[in-house]
Amino acid sequence: MSRTVYCPAVATLASVVTSITDCPTEFGQIQKIGFWRRGQAFASVASATSATVWTARLASTGDAKLLVSPMLTANIPASEAREAGSGNEVLNGIPIAIGSNPVKVEGKIWENAQTVITALKAIGGEYLDVIFINEAGQILYNLVGATAAGFPITSLWISDLSTGTFTDGTSNNFSFYLRPNWSNAAAITVAMASALDSVNS
């Protein structure tokens, strides 16, 4: 995605820091991921941590079905700049920042039944959105209007089994891509006690 350029410029730069006591953002370790078909969402932020709503979504047989991963570890790295030009092509040899690259999320699913892995591989061709669950049972979601939606992903890939070595356990690797600026509307819920224990019926 390219950077935003306004021409002519806006009359006044938008305020950025308006309080010295803004809440910090800290999500910690991702331990589970929820997948659903593109465009699904919880109707409100409150419903995103409702056990009743989760039970219904986990048991749904339609597009609203929420699939939960097994326990895993994952890392979302910072995005990297997309740049143009080098050397004598650009002024002073400084590349021009034209936007951001997609973000590759990578992780491991440890010691899991390969029937579960095979079922996850089967959704690789779907248009999917994801939500992330941390070790405290908090959910990282995409705030779209008043709804708690997921983040669109592409190129979901899950490896075959790695049996490991004397120092590395048995696991499956996985990866997918988030769009540039994926976190612009990212927000975190309060803890939901049953989030990490959730399973599909």
For 51-95, what is each residue's pLDDT tens digit?
999 999 999 999 999 999 999 999 999 999 999 998 899 999 999
**Token reading at 201:** 């019926």
- Residues 6+ positions from 185 with CB-CB distance below 8 Å: 142, 143, 144
Q: How many residues does the chain have?
A: 201
Mean pLDDT of the region 160-176: 93
For 59-71, what is each residue's pLDDT tens digit?
999 999 999 999 9
pLDDT at residue number 165: 85
Domain count, the chain: 1
Residue 197 lies in a domain: no
Distance CA 62, CA 143 (A): 23
Mean of the per-residue pLDDT values for the chain?
A: 93
Residue 4 lies in a domain: no
Q: Which residues form the domain of 81?
A: 30-188
Full 3-state SS string of 153-166 = EEEEEECCCECCCC
| Mean pLDDT lowest among 20-24, 44-48, 185-189 | 20-24
pLDDT at residue number 36: 96
Given a contact cutoff of 8 angstroms between Cβ atoms, the answer to whether 39 and 180 are in contact is no
Asked whether residue 1 carries a pLDDT value surpassing 70, the answer given is no
Residue 53 lies in a domain: yes
Residue 95 lies in a domain: yes
Confidence grade of residue 193 (pLDDT, cut at 50, 70, 90):
confident
Residue 116 lies in a domain: yes
Residue 42 lies in a domain: yes
Residue 160 lies in a domain: yes
Given a contact cutoff of 8 angstroms between Cβ atoms, the answer to whether 98 and 152 are in contact is no
Residue 11 lies in a domain: no
